């Protein structure tokens, strides 16, 4: 083994892998706890509470770590689109959709997020699709169409709920194009700013339309809301970004595969949800699309690596 190269099964590797598994469990179970919280609270109230309390907790962390907050309002506005597309819209669609469909079905549809990410980034950056990426996008989208096709004929709330999950995946994809604008800022600061803006966006809708002070929440809904605040909003966001910077996107992509698995298992264990054989087949088709795209990324990395090495040793 070359000097300085880290063993593939070192303690650091195991720590990073465990962190990614933990993050996947946090994000995967968010659908389940959004469904439970939504039994007592309106969708805007769930997202506002989640973002507002989460922002306060992250703000406390920033103060303890002496991380400065931007003083320019123009810098604050830089985070507004990220708060909208990475938090407010997807979390609202998540909470509203699981009122009408199972949380496990919702997370299966949301597994198409990387498909939208590749498709939109390719169009935005005007890049050419490799054959494996093209095959992955087409395969994944076919899986989603097959999954929601029965609801198209029937219409109703179930169809709109599934389309909201598709919109959620699209919103996340748009957010990936915006996040590079914040690379100069510490990751916890980005988490705080996007949570702040998402809470501010949802505040008037929660107070004017849903009037949360008139609600009588159940204990399970309160506990589910607390879980949404602590785990997927604060801990997962604080853990994932540093791990992503250490291991790179090619290894962090494991969360794409583990998120739906943890979400489906949570729905089965806690709400006795069941996916039909047809749902499992469509899920397999979607994940096949993601795997094909991941293969394209690995091939591109393998081609790029010798070029980078030649550049580093040539001058």
Contact 59, 234 (CB under 8 A): no
Nearest to residue 255, comparing CAs of 243, 268, 267?
A: 243
Cβ neighbours for 144, distance < 8 A, ≥ 6 positions apart: 109, 112, 115, 166, 282, 286
Structure tokens at 195: 């949570």
Distance of CA 148 to the CA centre of its chain: 21
Residue 304 is predicted with a pLDDT of 47
Residue 5 is predicted with a pLDDT of 43
Structure tokens at 165: 């999950």
Residue 133 is predicted with a pLDDT of 80
Nearest to residue 192, comparing CAs of 289, 69, 89?
A: 69
Residue 166 is predicted with a pLDDT of 93
Q: Is 253 helix (H, G, I), strand (E, B) or coil?
A: coil
Nearest to residue 25, comparing CAs of 252, 266, 313, 206?
A: 266
Q: What averages of pLDDT result for each successive group of 10 residues across the chain (315 residues)? A: 49 84 92 96 96 96 94 94 96 96 91 82 74 84 86 80 94 86 88 96 96 94 95 88 74 79 90 89 88 67 42 39
Q: Max Cα separation, the chain?
A: 70
DSSP assignment of 222-285 equals HHHHHHHIIIIIIIHHHHHHHHHHHH-HHHHTHHHHHHHHHHHHHHHHHH-----HHHHHHHHH
Contact 267, 29 (CB under 8 A): no
Separation CA 198–CA 11 (nearest Å)? 37
Residue 68 is predicted with a pLDDT of 94
- Burial environment of residue 313 by CB neighbours within 10 A (0 to 12, 13 to 18, 19 or more): exposed
For the chain, domain boundaries: 15-305
Which residue, chain included where needed, has tokens 């650091």?
A: 12
Nearest to residue 246, comparing CAs of 9, 12, 5, 2?
A: 12
Neighbouring C-beta atoms of residue 257, cutoff 10 Å: 14
Separation CA 240–CA 37 (nearest Å)? 24
Structure tokens at 175: 């957010």
Residue 153 is predicted with a pLDDT of 63
Residue 136 is predicted with a pLDDT of 84
Contact 34, 100 (CB under 8 A): no
Contact 137, 301 (CB under 8 A): no
Q: Using only C-alpha atoms, what is the Rg of the chain?
A: 20
Residue 249 is predicted with a pLDDT of 64
């Amino acid at each position: 083994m070359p000097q300085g190269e880290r063993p593939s099964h070192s303690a650091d590797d195991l720590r990073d892998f465990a962190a990614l598994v933990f993050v996947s469990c946090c994000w995967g179970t968010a659908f389940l706890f959004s469904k439970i919280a939504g039994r007592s609270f309106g969708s805007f109230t769930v997202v506002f509470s989640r973002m507002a309390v989460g922002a306060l907790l992250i703000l406390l962390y920033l103060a303890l770590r002496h991380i400065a907050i931007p003083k320019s309002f123009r810098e604050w506005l830089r985070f507004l689109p990220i708060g909208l597309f990475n938090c407010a819209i997807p979390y609202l669609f998540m909470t509203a959709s699981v009122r009408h469909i199972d949380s496990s079905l919702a997370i299966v549809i949301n597994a198409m997020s990387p498909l939208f990410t590749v498709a939109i980034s390719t169009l935005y950056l005007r890049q050419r699709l490799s054959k494996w990426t093209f095959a992955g996008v087409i395969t994944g989208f076919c899986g989603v169409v097959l999954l929601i096709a029965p609801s198209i004929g029937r219409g109703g709330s179930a169809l709109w709920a599934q389309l909201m999950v598709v919109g959620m995946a699209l919103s996340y994809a748009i957010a990936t194009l915006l996040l590079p604008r914040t690379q100069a800022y510490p990751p916890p600061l980005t988490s705080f700013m996007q949570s702040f803006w998402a809470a501010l966006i949802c505040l008037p809708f929660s107070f004017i339309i849903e009037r949360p002070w008139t609600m009588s929440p159940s204990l399970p809904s309160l506990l589910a809301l607390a879980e949404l605040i602590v785990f997927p909003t604060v801990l997962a966001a604080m853990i994932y970004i540093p791990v992503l910077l250490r291991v790179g996107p090619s290894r962090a992509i494991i969360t794409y595969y583990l998120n739906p698995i943890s979400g489906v298992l949570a729905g089965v264990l806690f709400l006795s949800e069941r996916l039909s054989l047809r749902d499992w087949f469509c899920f397999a088709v979607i994940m096949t699309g993601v795997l094909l795209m991941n293969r394209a990324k690995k091939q591109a990395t393998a081609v790029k690596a010798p070029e980078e090495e030649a550049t580093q040793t040539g001058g």
